[in-house]
Amino acid sequence: MHLRVATLADIPQIQLVRNSVTENMLSNPDLVTDADCAEYLSTRGRGWVAEIGGEIVGFSIVDLHENNVWALFLKPEYSGRGIGRQLHEVMLDWYFHQTTLPIWLGTEPGTRAEQFYQKAGWEETGVHGKGEIKFTMRHGAWAERVGRR
């Protein structure tokens, strides 16, 4: 598995990964456009992709404008291999080198994503959007976790 910074050329494969998930699915895949992806990768933050054999199997994107995780997704057949954890770590390491402000995300309750973020040390801080769980990670909590790696 190879992890690298995402480029605009990766957007078609990023969209394939996003639309392959079986949890936290988009009600309408057209809601997240290629232009949205380009904006988040080029002006709002940064993204990373995980590749196996030249195929993108997962990605993460962080938004510095809203201080949130815009996306962290894997093709379902690649879950449980540590790829999500590695995408998560590189994303938060980069984020907390840019700012010490807390970062947040929203995810559907009762999903593997909820369990993933709980295990990764995110604090449940409320509700976001249409019933999603809002999680927050603070700089100090991340620094403490990194110190234990």
Residue at 23: amino acid letter: E
Average confidence (pLDDT) over 59-63: 97
**What is the distance between the alpha carbons of residues 86 and 95, in angstroms, rounded to a whole number?**
14
Looking at the predicted structure, is the pLDDT value of residue 59 above 60? yes
- Encoded tokens for 91: 């994303």
132 membership: H or E segment, kind and range: strand 132-137
**What is the distance between the alpha carbons of residues 57 and 74, in angstroms, rounded to a whole number?**
6
Better-scored residue on pLDDT, 66 or 145: 66
Structure confidence by residue, pLDDT tens digits, 1-58: 999 999 999 999 999 898 876 655 444 455 678 899 999 999 999 999 999 999 999 9
Contact criterion met (CB below 8 Å) for 69 and 60: yes
The domain that contains 33 carries what CATH number? Answer: 3.40.630.30
Residue at 76: amino acid letter: P
**Domain of 125, in residue numbers:** 2-148
Q: For position 27, what pLDDT does the model report?
A: 47
How many domains does the chain contain in total?
1
Please give the mean pLDDT across all residues of the chain: 90
